[in-house]
Amino acid sequence: MGALDQNIVGYDLWHLSVPVVSVRDHGIGKVGGACEIVVLRLTSEGGEEGFGEASPWSVFTGSPEAAYAALDRYIRPFVVGRSVADSAAIMADAARAVAFCTDAKAALESALLDLAGRISGVPVHALLGGRCRREIPLSVSLANPDWAADRELLARLVDDGVGIVKLKTGFKDHAFDLLRLEELAQDFPTMRVRVDFNQGLEPDGATRRVQDIAAFEPEFIEQPVLHHHYDLMAEIRASIDVPLLADESVFGPEDMTRAVREGICDGVSVKTMKAGGLVRAQTVARMAATAGMTAYGGDMFETGLAHLAGVHMIAATPEIGLGCEFYQAKYYLETDILEESFPCEGGSVQVPSGPGLGIRPDIEKLGHFRV
């Protein structure tokens, strides 16, 4: 019997409200005050622990209440009493136990892999196929409706060595988007710029607005229109020279099949929270690469715990070549929930090499932020 052949005996959940430093506006919704997440802890017979985070956004993937209920009521019976070694079988049962709730399933897989990694003394990326990179370039999103505040953040990012920003557009008028792009080009000429509409544009006039943005030649333009407007995504893509990326249109491998078939994008935002786990996120990236598309590692409103799951996933996925967006732990939360700082220096995220996810949440903080 191997070390992983021991049962999962503990299954604990926390619904947290974690304060953030500013309001952020996106095409389809605002965030401010705090972000709500669900943390799962699995405990093995031998006393090892594994952690995972569900980071829902109600207007995007679903509500924290739904993620909590999915884990607490529908998924729990398929986990407790099962062997740590049977993680793929547990994930398959969880997928059938409750529809959607992809963030809850991502939390479960993170916790299973963290637990298996801690028991066997290897990092999660080793369990996902092995490491292809030690660092991941960081992109920080600019989404503050107060542009002066974002300019202050930009100055800090330059000081910190961050080389990529993603400008959130389409939540105010077109002139505001153009003005910010002009100032970025003029005052921060070394910064690589990407643009994300978060589905913010009405179909009428969307193509023309995106063409105006494309004139600034950002590295890519992401999800200008609603997720189900596949035809319009394809039409916009054909009308610009800048790569068009899909985010909300592509959750898991099933959507990726359709995105490739209908030619809606040149690349995709890969997120464990959308895909429903780390392995399914890897699958999305590999499908994209097979179709000649690029991919980057996106995130939701996460703490460092969910970031870590994403970091290990990207560290083991060479097909994700456009970096990551795991900036919240350092730049958006008032306080992160990890025992140590999320590893992010010099414009990159450093891939942890310790067992499991490499860093654990601080249990006292989980109690402090509990709803």
Strand order in the sheet with 244-246: 139-142, 164-168, 192-196, 221-222, 244-246, 267-270, 294-297
Cβ proximity to Mg ion, 196 vs 219, nearer residue = 196
Per CB under 5 A, the segment of 28-36, 57-65, 194-202, 348-356 that binds Mg ion is 194-202
Of residues 224 and 352, the one with the C-beta less far from Mg ion = 224
Q: Least distance to Mg ion from the beta carbon of 140, Å?
A: 13
- What DSSP assignment string belongs to 18-31? EEBSS-EEETTEEE
Piece of 246-254, 308-316, 320-328, 353-361 that binds Mg ion (CB under 5 A): 246-254
Of 72-131, which residues contact Mg ion (CB under 5 A)? none
**39: number of CA atoms within 13 Å, CB side?**
28
Q: Is 196 in the site for Mg ion (CB under 5 A)?
A: yes
Q: How far is CA 19 from CA 26, 273, 291, in A?
A: 18, 20, 40
By CB atoms closer than 10 A (0-12, 13-18, 19+), residue 67 is buried
- Looking at the Cβ atoms of 60 and 369, the one nearer to Mg ion is 60
Give SS3 for 251.
coil
Q: What is the largest CA-CA distance in the chain?
A: 65
Contact letters for Mg ion, residues 16-55 (x by CB under 5 A): ----------------------------------------
Which is closer to Mg ion, CB of 8 or CB of 259?
259
Complex with Mg ion: residue 116 or 245, whichever CB lies closer: 245
Region near Mg ion per CB under 5 A, out of 175-183, 185-193, 244-252, 363-371:
244-252
Interface region with Mg ion, contact rule CB under 5 A, candidates 150-158, 226-234, 247-255, 335-343: 247-255
Dist CA 224 CA 66 (whole Å): 27
Only one of the segments 215-223, 289-297, 299-307, 348-356 lies at the binding site for Mg ion (rule: CB under 5 A); that segment is 215-223
- # binding residues, Mg ion (CB under 5 A): 3
DSSP 120-185: HT-BHHHHTT--S-SEEEBEEEE--S-HHHHHHHHHHHHHHT--EEEEE-SSS-HHHHHHHHHHHH
Q: Which residues from 311-340 bind Mg ion, rule CB under 5 A?
A: none
Q: Which is nearer to Mg ion, 222 or 266 (CB)?
A: 222
Structure tokens at 238: 């054909």
Quick check: helix, strand or coil at residue 243? coil
Cα 237–238–244 angle (5° rounding)? 20
Q: Least distance (Å) from Mg ion to the CB of residue 27?
A: 9
Residue nearest to Mg ion (CB): 247
Contacting Mg ion (CB under 5 A), which of 247, 255, 266, 302? 247
Q: How far apart are CA 363 and CA 29, in angstroms?
A: 31
50 vs 170, which CB is nearer to Mg ion? Answer: 170
- Residue 49 vs 247, nearer CB to Mg ion: 247
Q: Could you tell me the smallest distance in angstroms from the CB atom of residue 5 to Mg ion?
A: 41
* Tokens of residue 6, six digits: 């021991």
| Interface residue list for Mg ion (CB under 5 A) | 196, 222, 247
